[in-house]
Structure 1
Amino acid sequence: MFKSLINNWNKKKLSDDRFTFLFDEGNDDEIVVFDCETTGLDPKQDDIISIGAVKIKNNKIFLNDALHLYIKQEKEIDHKSITIHQIRNCDLDGAIPLREAIERFLYFIGNKTLAGYYLEFDVAMINKYTKEMLGITLPNSQVEISSIYYNKKIQTIPQGNIDLRFNTILKELSLPRLHAHDALNDAVMTAMMYLKLKNIKKL
């Protein structure tokens, strides 16, 4: 009820009718896992460099329908930022404008549930641009992978200190580690986490 009221209020602020589909009732059988590589960790100050996303349906990750976008930057990428995500300025040859990237991302996710690792940050980064471009924030339902892991793990060590680091979860679930700090690879690894956690009762 409360979420419905918020979404209705959010929808009234939509300034572009092309994106009304974002507010359609979602289908729980299909979700989108996504990840952003950014210039830093402050959504107010930093920018998105790349977006990776994959769809999950019927317990399958659809890699042949993945989204991987590089975004043109208005200024040079800082050296400290490069040491984290390994994306250099020369790697952005052929990158697309920000508005195009956000629109392509929105068409890709549609009204589907979104999942991710510390998803709140990635959603905040996307919302920074959707507010400016469309007047809205993402209305999609959201699933936090680290929360699912925590809820499974706490059953076995209720008084324990649970390590929620990405690589720890990956190792605990016996999943392969792809090349890190690549938005698409991170999305794929997170999607594997989601499926593994969804299909086991406890860790």
Structure 2
Amino acid sequence: MIPRALKRLFHQASIGDQSYRFMFRSEPSDEVVAIDCETTGLNVRTDDVISIAAIKVRGRRILTSEHFEAVVRPDAGMGAEGIKVHRLREADVAQSPFIRKVLPSLLHFVGGRPLVGYYVDFDIAMLDKYILPHIGIELPNRRIEISKLYYERKYGDAPANTVVDLSFAAMLKDLGIPLLAQHDAFNDALMTAMMYIVLRDWKERGVRIARPRPGGAIFNPTGG
């Protein structure tokens, strides 16, 4: 696997559309973008994005007034199980633009800022399906995985064979963040931004998250 730093240099040299070179510029060091995508399913190859939300975080402030949000019409069909999750029907997206139309606005909003997300690699892989043919490169932005930050605070010093729970609900509960309606791109991005601020603050202050005593089944979405 090519290291991300090396891939970034390659992308900077090989970008097809020079008008997107702003994606490599240095943004304010205290700014990141929390991002979330809702999709028709979990297969990057065959499923599509149906909604995107991105919210800027500056220092310890979540700039909800500076956010990007779009519902898009997928190329792939929308199955019944997916509709139950994200509550968007084909009729709800029929008049929405295809994702290719909203990509320029999204990319200008994000710029060169790091992207914060929950299993952010999946969201970026879904977006890269469209970004790569559009400008000739994948998203070069640094990624910050919220579950990794949480793992470090709770399980970084855990003994071997500790059962790990990285579910979204467990993270919110431990961090004292209210659960908003999930599987809504804006709400998920907002909750992710709140978790990022708390976890970064706790890391700076050396605060750790207490672990429960062994016993009982705990959900671990990583399969580990």
The TM-score range, normalised by the shorter chain, is over 0.9
The structural deviation recorded for 1:154 is 1.5
Indicate conservation of the 8 Å contact 2:48/2:76, yes or no: no
Q: Does 1:81 align with 2:87?
A: no
Partner Cα distance (1:84, 1:3) in 2: 32
Q: Which amino acid aligns with 2:87?
A: Q
Gaps of 5+ in 1: none
Find the counterpart in structure 1 of residue 222 from structure 2.
none
Find the counterpart in structure 1 of residue 97 from structure 2.
96
Find the counterpart in structure 2 of residue 174 from structure 1.
176
Which range is displaced more, 133-142 or 91-100? 91-100
Find the counterpart in structure 2 of residue 23 from structure 1.
24
Indicate conservation of the 8 Å contact 1:35/1:186, yes or no: yes
Indicate conservation of the 8 Å contact 1:26/1:113, yes or no: no
Please list every run of at least 4 consecutive aligned residues from structure 1 whose deviation after the TM superposition is greater than 4 angstroms: none
Identity value in percent: 36
CA RMSD of aligned residues (A): 1.6
Find the counterpart in structure 2 of residue 125 from structure 1.
126
SS of residue paired to 1:199:
helix
The structural deviation recorded for 1:91 is 2.0
Q: Does 1:198 align with 2:200?
A: yes
The structural deviation recorded for 1:176 is 0.5
Partner Cα distance (1:158, 1:152) in 2: 14
Partner Cα distance (1:31, 1:142) in 2: 10
Indicate conservation of the 8 Å contact 1:28/1:113, yes or no: no
Find the counterpart in structure 1 of residue 108 from structure 2.
107
Indicate conservation of the 8 Å contact 1:153/1:162, yes or no: no
Indicate conservation of the 8 Å contact 1:30/1:57, yes or no: yes
Structure 1 3/98 Cα, relative in aligned 2: closer, same or farther at 3 Å?
closer
SS of residue paired to 1:52:
strand
The structural deviation recorded for 1:155 is 4.3
Partner Cα distance (2:159, 2:148) in 1: 14
Q: Which has the larger radius of gyration?
A: 2
Provide TM-score, normalisation by structure 2. Answer: 0.85
Structure 1 73/5 Cα, relative in aligned 2: closer, same or farther at 3 Å?
closer
SS of residue paired to 1:22:
helix
Partner Cα distance (2:104, 2:58) in 1: 22
Q: Which amino acid aligns with 2:178?
A: P
